[in-house]
Amino acid sequence: MADGNYILEVKDLDKSFPGVHALDKVSFKVKPGSVHALMGENGAGKSTLMKCLFGIYDPDFGEIILDGKPVHFDNSRQALDAGVSMIHQELLPIPLRPAMENLWLGRFPVRGVGPFKLVDHKKMYQDTVELLKDLNLDIDPRVWVRSLSASKIQSLEIAKAVSNKAKVIIMDEPTSSLTEHEVALLFGIIRRLRNEGVAIIYISHKIEEILAIADEVTILRDGKQVGTYNSEALTTDQIIKYMVGRDLTNRFPPKDNIVGETVMEVKNLSSAQSRSFTGVSFTLGRGEILGIGGLVGAQRTELVESIFGLRPVREGQVFINGHEVVIKNPSQAKARKLALVTEERRASGIIPMRSVKDNMILANLQQYVGPGGLINEKKGEDDVDRMIKALNVKTPSKKTYIRDLSGGNQQKVLVARWLMTEPEIMILDEPTRGIDVGAKYEIYSIIIDLAKQGKSIIMISSEMPELLGLSDRIMVMCEGKVTGFLEGRTATQEEIMRLAAKYM
């Protein structure tokens, strides 16, 4: 190995895109049998660095040394063959194929000789059973992936990486869709791989996870390496300071919104789908931030999507400003001054191959249609410029593809999209998922400012500090039922967890 101590070395790696210097002479080393965390704000260069390591991007300058030898990967297949595997943050399975076929895609076991080879489904099944059992993962090899939850799909991706017998495994936000139990299982797998000499490069915004699992931490900021540190010598405050370049003494802005009269009331709402939410009732005040807490499977997303007309309801009533409303689709919801920023930003939020401007005006497109059905480009651009300035969206241009923005700035574009419809009630489903502490603070500021303006906010969050730091009240759900309400200023994490695990 290089220097006798490292399985992977990155030397002065540099990569630029139009208008962005993504990596600026980044260097770091990874020891075999270690967990090396990579941290930084969105846009710091983490994903670009990993894509260079995995053959997706070709670096402009610099050197990658694997097991003592310089390497250059033209594609991910070459990286896999060399012993580098990657679990991507964006899950892209083949939904209409079985789990085992997704697991062994591109390397199916075959039987027969010469040109008459056939896929050996029996061996594939047996190999899958053994692998999943070894990893303590409860997934049926023959089940179609479309029927699996996001957490199960994530677990399947982890199994795929392990099955490649890799020397280095890159994990990009591997716990973003996992339950606490599944996170514990993943950490068990990581520790076993570490004991077997495998090097893990672990990317996460969750500082508590990093401190629990990592041996070393490399921090990037604005495409440059801040430094590499022993995790035992780091604190949460130090990591935040290194990431954002300043002390962040308060993780949440001061709350000075005033809660007014009731603007929405939900009475005994039940889903038309089996095993979903039932008998949900709550009120929402003007200028109030109502947090919704709960564990995976609590049916929080299903509830807000039903209120927004994306899912059918069996019974119950919704009142807005004292009048009963029936909302069967998003157009009717928008007409009632509701807005919904969805949980899965990449899957159901952004249109990656369209510009910031196109993504921002999408929900309010009819306002920019002039005579003959043509879009009034000038009016749209003026409104987009105003929103970019108001929400401090960091983008080279409004014509930049939204896929090239950091996660936090993509989220700001989605918030801007719905603000342009002039809503009175905004539903935010996991508004800071997958974005860093600095960008989170900016999103928090936007949410509180909206509440101060009299907008009413329903916010789903799986991060309890976020619920406690932003919410005026917290409604907790478990398995489709409301298990209690807490006052935001006095609630504790223990109370939220107790209600989240309390089936009624």
List the one residue out of 266, 85, 78 whose CA is nearest residue 172: 85
pLDDT of res. 168: 93
Q: pLDDT digit string (tens) for 434-457?
A: 676 777 888 898 899 999 999 999
Name all domains of the chain by residue range, CATH numbers in brackets.
8-244 (3.40.50.300), 257-337+423-437+456-504 (3.40.50.300), 347-422 (no CATH)
Binned at pLDDT 50, 70 and 90, residue 152 comes out as: confident
Spell out the residues 6+ positions from residue 284 whose beta carbon is closer than 8 angstroms to its own. Answer: 262, 263, 264, 265, 290, 425, 456, 458
Residue 258 to residue 452: CA distance in whole angstroms: 7
Binned at pLDDT 50, 70 and 90, residue 1 comes out as: very low
pLDDT at 243 over 90: no
Spell out the residues 6+ positions from residue 492 whose beta carbon is closer than 8 angstroms to its own. Answer: 468
CB 255 within 8 A of CB 51: no
CB 179 within 8 A of CB 202: no
Residue 5 vs residue 282, higher pLDDT: 282
Give residue for tokens 């309801």: 313
Coil, helix or strand for 266?
strand
- What is the H or E stretch that residue 207 is in? helix 207-213
pLDDT at 2 over 50: no
CB 89 within 8 A of CB 173: yes
- Tell me what the mean pLDDT of segment 273-295 comes to: 93
Q: pLDDT digit string (tens) for 250-273?
A: 678 889 899 999 999 999 999 998
Supply φ then ψ for residue 343, to 5 degrees.
Answer: -70, -45
**Both tokens of residue 388?**
């970019």
List the one residue out of 13, 65, 26 whose CA is nearest residue 219: 26
Quickly list DSSP for 373-422.
Answer: G-B-HHHHHHHHHHHHHHTT---S-TTSBGGGS-HHHHHHHHHHHHHTT-
Percent of the chain scoring above 90 in pLDDT: 45
Residue 26 vs residue 136, higher pLDDT: 26
Lowest mean pLDDT among 15-19, 78-82, 235-239, 333-337: 15-19
CB 428 within 8 A of CB 363: no
* CA distances from residue 210 to 38, 133, 350, 476 in whole angstroms, order as listed: 9, 27, 29, 27
How do strand 280-285 and strand 168-172 relate by DSSP bridges? unpaired
What's the DSSP call for residue 190? H
Residue 420 to residue 402: CA distance in whole angstroms: 17
Q: pLDDT digit string (tens) for 451-488?
A: 999 999 999 998 888 899 999 999 999 889 999 999 99
Residue 373 vs residue 108, higher pLDDT: 108
Q: pLDDT digit string (tens) for 95-116?
A: 889 999 999 988 898 988 777 8
Q: pLDDT digit string (tens) for 416-428?
A: 888 888 899 999 9
pLDDT of res. 246: 59
pLDDT at 11 over 90: yes
- Tell me what the mean pLDDT of segment 114-139 comes to: 89
Residue 114 to residue 2: CA distance in whole angstroms: 41
Spell out the residues 6+ positions from residue 344 whose beta carbon is closer than 8 angstroms to its own. Answer: none
pLDDT of res. 19: 66
pLDDT of res. 351: 82
Given CA atoms 187, 191, 197, 200 in this order, what sign does their dihedral have?
A: positive
- What's the burial of 27, exposed, middle or buried (CB within 10 Å: 0-12/13-18/19+)? middle
- What is the H or E stretch that residue 185 is in? helix 180-195
Mean pLDDT of the chain: 87
